[in-house]
A and B are shown apart, each in its own frame.
Chain A
Amino acid sequence: MTQTQTTATTEGADNEICLEARNLSVRYGKVQAVKDISLVVRARQVTALIGPSGCGKSTFLRAINRMNDLIPTCVVQGSVRLGETEIYDPAVEVEALRARIGMVFQKPNPFATSIYNNVAYGPRVQGLVRHRRETDERVEKSLRRAGLWDEVKDRLKESGTSLSGGQQQRLCIARAIAADPEVVLMDEPCSALDPIATARIEDLMDELRARYTIVIVTHSMQQAARVSKRTAFFLLGELVEEGATGEVFTNPQDERTLNYVTGRMG
């Protein structure tokens, strides 16, 4: 496994901003889940969100692709910019926005259809493919990028649910990148997987970050240290600290972060 710290310097355009949240607050009814968070996510690197359970990591992540719109009680205040787009602008078409921001969930959730159709779903609903050949190409490209092609190329017609848990999760990653998003959000993508499948996904993230901006929520500090370049520490809905991963883990500015990363809390 490659240590990010050693490879990070080789990538240029280090400071290009991809996502920027400004004074973002999210409420579920009366529960304030995210409190006034401002955070910058840089392009083509992995940013990890860590923090104890219930501190609002998932809520923050789902605010980025407006998945919280699906929850009727949820109210969002503040702003999130993706490149030049303000995603909470009422004029923004949320379906097109979500095509630019892929998402991978905690539990693999392949659709009850073939592997092929699973990957083709996004491009199809987005109208990115016009005929079979284009679809074929896109499916193959996405599966290759997700490191799944060699395992499934002979069984594309089989049901996505027939794969193993780790394969299913990589299928979901392939599905998320098939519509060419700019950002891939991952909410604890390895928490339902065994260590070997986890290692494969971590390797994959290392490859994907050349092309995509990745935001990952994780409970494993080792994972955050292994895959991410920058880390944000959340506590009780607030952003306590954000910085280069090495700094956050070895030399945190805030005492609460120190307590968390040394295992004295959470």
Chain B
Amino acid sequence: MGFAFLLPWLVAACGWMACRWSPVAWLSPVAGEGQHAQGTAAQLARLVFLTSLLGGLLVLLLWLLLEPPVIAQRSTQALLASEAQSASSRQERVALDLLRTKAQNLAAGDRPTESLKVEALKDESDSVASVARAALVLRQATEREAWLLPVLVVLGGLLGLLAGSQAPRRGLHPRKLAERIIAVLLLLSAATALAVTVGILLSLIFESWRFFRLVPLSEFLFGLRWEPQIALRADQVAGLGAFGAVPVLLGTAVISLVALLVAAPLGILSAVWLVEYASPRTRSICKPVLEILAGIPTVVYGFFAVVALAPAFREGGAWLGFTLAPNSALVAGFVMGVMILPFISSLTDDALYAVPQSLREGAFALGATSFEVASRVVLPTAAPGIVSAFLLAISRALGETMIVLMAAGLLAKMTINPLDSVTTVTVQIVTLLTGDTEFDNPKTLSAFALGLLLLVITLFLNWLALRVSRRWHKEWSA
């Protein structure tokens, strides 16, 4: 299967070479009939490359779309035939799934096909024979694919090659045609990207909607208790289930606030230093380093929080007379602050740097010192840009998962005490979706509702940040 993906490219390359260098008349543009009307050999070659590539890829795509359902249908038939089963009730569906997995394992295993055939022919009433038959169907499909697919792909490619090479004879200019094909391809790529995003969004909305049929929206938005660990099976010990998102949001807010309190002053001060005090050379070194720091995998930060920071904070707290909860919001927020620090200082640096030099000169000319210029002229002017940097940083902190998963707690508490242990939206989503899950109970579905909530909040913050900075740019680009 794998190499079938390379085939269209191979055929297309052959087509290109054939047009470029072959003296065969039907492949080259009609000689002497005027280069302009017919296009050059290179242009035709490019067109042929495109059309044959498209032909091959189209065949491949159709196969990928059509083959799996057909095979699945046939193997299911093989499974059902023996036992006059139906797949209507839920239990039967589960049983069928089990059998299908068995058949897949059998087909992928190293039992020779002959022995499978023998077993399939034994007309037993139990499921062994039907599994063997299904496995046979699967195995045949694989074998067929091994030769049929490449042949079809090459055929498709050749067809495209032919169609492309005949374009000039039909009065189509190869260059223009190629341009049109490329335009369509680019459009398709853009549309795919958009469609994937919209698809994700729609599925999130759909699953959330299913959740809100079980739990009312008002309870989710305003409820003060979050205890989603309801029983999935009768023998499990669990809570009754309460789906009020407020404590989870509160925990997220506390951690983000701590993060901001750590990152904002440091970020602003370091940016002021970079823009107003450091020499251009120093800035040109420090700025990229900051931006690289923003790319540290967050799991590293989480690790740092658990191994180094949590014990240090606990000891420090004990020394000062505080008791820190094991997974205190303080530690998680602090490390999150360190994580968004490069982000904030880099964006603040951009905002400060965008302040027109003429304002600085104006202030210096009045006899202001560097600090007076920075604090009374540059910072106020850049304030909207800095606010927008903060908003972006917060929205990033809200969505951050790894650090809080490692450093924050699991229990949702109604507290704003940073020494306490709190949980976050992202942590809840992860814990809800790992382990025993089924997609028709509120516990699992609530993860989607939380995801949607987080998405809405984040989008709102980003939109706000964009608006603030747009307005600001309009004022200062004049």
Contact = CB atoms under 8 A, between A and B. Distances in A.
| A and B co-occur in one complex | yes
Contact of A122 (B358, B359, B367, B369): B367
Interface stretch (A92-100, A131-139, A198-206): A92-100
A113 interface: yes
B372 interface: yes
A128 B145 CA distance: 89
Contacts of A125: 366-369, 372, 376
A80 interface: no
A79 interface: no
B283 to A, nearest CB: 12
A126 B367 contact: yes
Interface in A70-114: 70, 72, 94-99, 102-103, 105, 107, 109, 111-113
Contacts of B364: 67, 70, 98
Contacts of B279: 72
A122 B475 CA distance: 24
Contact of B366 (A70, A107, A161, A176): A176
Interface residues of A, number: 27
Contacts of B380: 111-113
Majority SS at the chain B contact face: helix
- Chain B CB within 10 Å, residue with most, of A70, A109, A172: A109
A179 interface: yes
A65 B366 CA distance: 10
A170 interface: no
B368 A111 contact: no
Given A105-B358, A107-B358, A112 B381 contact: yes
A14 to B, nearest CB: 28
Given A95-B369, A97-B367, A179-B367, A109 B381 contact: no
A121 interface: yes
Contacts of A44: none
30 contacts: A65-B365, A67-B361, A72-B279, A95-B367, A95-B368, A95-B369, A98-B365, A99-B367, A103-B362, A105-B358, A105-B361, A109-B358, A109-B359, A109-B361, A109-B362, A111-B359, A111-B363, A111-B377, A111-B380, A112-B359, A113-B380, A121-B366, A122-B367, A125-B367, A125-B376, A126-B366, A161-B475, A172-B362, A179-B366, A179-B367
Interface of B: 279-280, 356, 358-369, 372, 376-377, 380-381, 475
